[in-house]
Amino acid sequence: MNKKLLFFDIDGTLYNTKKIIPQSAKDAIKAAREQGHEVAIATGRSPFFLKEVSDELEVDSFISFNGQFVVYKGQVISSRPIPLDVLQRLTKKAEENNIPIVYLDEHQMTSATKEHDEVRASMDSLFYPMPEHDAEHYKTTAIYQSLLYISEEQKPAFIEAFPELAFIRWHEFSDDVINHDVSKAYGIEQFIKHTDFTMADVIVFGDGLNDVEMLELVAQEGTSVAMGNAVPQAKEVASIVTDHVDEDGLANAMVKLGLLTK
């Protein structure tokens, strides 16, 4: 098999429901790398929040913030922070509606709200502490993603008010907010510009709503894999659907695709 470029989502793809990487997945990725394939991460997480995974898998290439911040072999190759004026308007509208908002830069997460049950619930789902309270931090550093704690009923008003932004549901209480023309698919396009790979060489693995564009794009020329636990929208556009993440879905797909032998 020709050398492939493999992109792995984290939550629900690399991480199982216990928030750990199954041994079968670790072994499969190690074997794929030993056979000459290149490994990268494609996640909605920030760089500081994927360090544990990248260290565990010895990966120094990643697409983070759903495509807003891309690193290849330790070097930043694409960076698309949310414009400050847009963040200021978003913050103002959130404040007017008593909606919590969290800001993510390359190094940390800060919150405009000191304490909120919905923010805490979402952080608990990630096994992450409450963000530091700092309502002014976003004004002095590049922010690549925001977490906006809106209900589905509130969401249309924000979509209408901010056509320059994309609102992607990641938790029952919260949306990821990024630039409207950026996604993991965009990140992959930027990534391959800096390598000798083509889209036909790419294989992606994902499960969530923020993986749909990536799975759909890569399926056109390469191969995209939706996990058995993936949302229906991801399964509909993927090249293949594998088993549940808790049932060795990642390793099974890699065997099926000929990336390694069982």
Catalytic positions, written as ranges:
9
Q: How far is CA 140 from CA 50, 83, 93, 135, in A?
A: 23, 12, 20, 11
Query: CA 58, CA 67: separation in Å to the nearest integer?
Result: 20
| Residue 19 Rama label (left phi>0; alpha psi -120 to 50; beta) | left
Query: CA 110, CA 130: separation in Å to the nearest integer?
Result: 9
Give all strands of the β-sheet with 38-42 in edge-to-edge order: 75-79, 69-72, 62-64, 38-42, 5-8, 202-206, 223-226, 240-241
Instruction: Please list, in sequence order, all residues whose beta carbon lies within 8 angstroms of the beta carbon of residue 211, skipping any fewer than 6 positions away.
Output: 9, 13, 42, 184, 204, 226, 230, 234
Query: CA 215, CA 210: separation in Å to the nearest integer?
Result: 10
Q: Which residue has the tokens 């993986």?
A: 211
Q: Are 238 and 224 in contact (CB under 8 A)?
A: yes
**b/e map of 64-87 (b: 16 or more CB within 10 Å)?**
bbbbbbbbbeeeebbebbbeeebb
Tokens of 98: 């008593």
Cα-Cα-Cα-Cα dihedral sign, residues 251, 252, 254, 255: positive
